[in-house]
Amino acid sequence: PPQYSILDIKKKYSQGIPLSMVTAYDYISASWVNKAQCDLLLIGDSLAMTSLGYSSTTELPLDEFKYHVKSVCRNQDGPALVVCDMPFGSFEAGISQGISNAIDLMKLSPRVTSLKVEVGPLAQDQYTVEFVKQLCSRGFPVMAHIGLTPQRANSLGGFKVQGNKDPMNAVELYKTAKKLQEIGCWSTVLEAVPHKVATYITQRLSIPTIGIGAGDGTSGQVLVLSDMLGLQPTEHLPKFVKKYDSIVDQVNTSLEQYKNDVEARKFPETGVHTFKIKDDVYDEFV
Ligand code: KIV
Ligand code: NA
């Protein structure tokens, strides 16, 4: 099936149908997302932690990220529109550095339809706003990402809910979202924002908002695949994650069984998992 276009997604948004987005890391996880016909597939830099074992997205080398982008995009077995993160360090050195990395990311596969850029509060982060503006003016489709922006976690003071204490921070979030819409972003992620604030912002924008830890008043939702499926033995998941499965436990049971079968010579079973040789050549082997 052909991939959804941004227009298809906007149509669904204007019909008031909530949008589903989920991350994928490689060909196989992309095949799951596509098979389920999710609307949007995010190649999130969270793969640094969920797939590569880094402790932060800021550690992720751009080259390693690109390898994953190519792997995801080789899966074309479904309609999910592919959004690709701009990792930490790929645009901060200057507008021209950022534009050139944006070109490189888009060129990895025609499947990459949109970039996603984390943007800090408007009053502080004029640089990224300008960068996003330059991207939009050059025709790059940009999904913004505001609220809790993990790449900026240090300057935000940690992984904290944004706009929940000082009302001015909530106003700032709204102003940032408005500005990003005005400069041409086609959508925005709202991460770890109080339900009411996310709903307020969504109602006043004419572009879709994709929430994570933002309640049900946004235009859509996004979850990290390994969190929702329980792909790794994570002790602590953020409150906003709904865990739909515990794959790591199922996998563990199967692998332990396999190991025990091998040790007990229960696998492979002769006649079931084995090949025969023809009777006439058999004699040569005995
Ligand atoms: O990298 C990621 O997974 C993300 C989502 C949490 C929005 O940016
Ligand atoms: Na991300």
Query: What structural domains and CATH numbers belong to the chain?
Result: 6-245 (3.20.20.60), 250-285 (no CATH)
Nearest CA to ligand 1 atom 2: 44
Q: Alpha-carbon Rg of the chain, whole angstroms?
A: 23
Q: Average pLDDT of the chain?
A: 96
Residues lining ligand 1, judged by CB closer than 6 Å? 23, 42, 44-46, 85, 145, 189, 191, 212, 222, 224
pLDDT tens per residue, range 34-51: 999 999 999 999 999 999
- The label of the residue with tokens 């002790």 reads 235
Distance CA 59, CA 256 (A): 33
State the catalytic residue, choosing from 59, 64, 92, 191.
Answer: 191
- 44 CA distance to ligand 1 centroid (A)? 5
191 catalytically annotated: yes
| Residue of 43, 229, 57 lying closest to 159 (CA atoms) | 57
Model pLDDT, residue 284: 66
Band (pLDDT 50/70/90 cuts) for residue 1 is confident
pLDDT tens per residue, range 83-103: 999 999 999 999 999 999 999
- 256 CA distance to ligand 2 centroid (A)? 34
pTM metric for this prediction: 0.95
Q: Over 90: is that where the pLDDT of 67 sits?
A: yes
pLDDT tens per residue, range 173-223: 999 999 999 999 999 999 999 999 999 999 999 999 999 999 999 999 999
Band (pLDDT 50/70/90 cuts) for residue 285 is low
Amino acid (one-letter) located at 175: K
Distance CA 237, CA 14 (A): 32
Model pLDDT, residue 245: 97
Ligand with smallest separation from the Cα of 147: 1
| Residue of 257, 145, 269 lying closest to 211 (CA atoms) | 145
Task: Give the number of the atom of ligand 1 that is nearest the alpha carbon of residue 44.
Answer: 1
Model pLDDT, residue 277: 81
Ligand 1 pocket test, pick from 19, 20, 29, 42 with the greatest ligand atom count within 8 Å of Cβ, gives: 42
How many Cβ atoms from other residues are within 10 Å of residue 73's Cβ? Answer: 20
pLDDT tens per residue, range 225-268: 999 999 998 778 999 999 999 999 999 999 999 999 999 999 99
Model pLDDT, residue 7: 98
Nearest CA to ligand 1 atom 8: 44
Q: Over 70: is that where the pLDDT of 286 sits?
A: no
Nearest CA to ligand 1 atom 4: 44
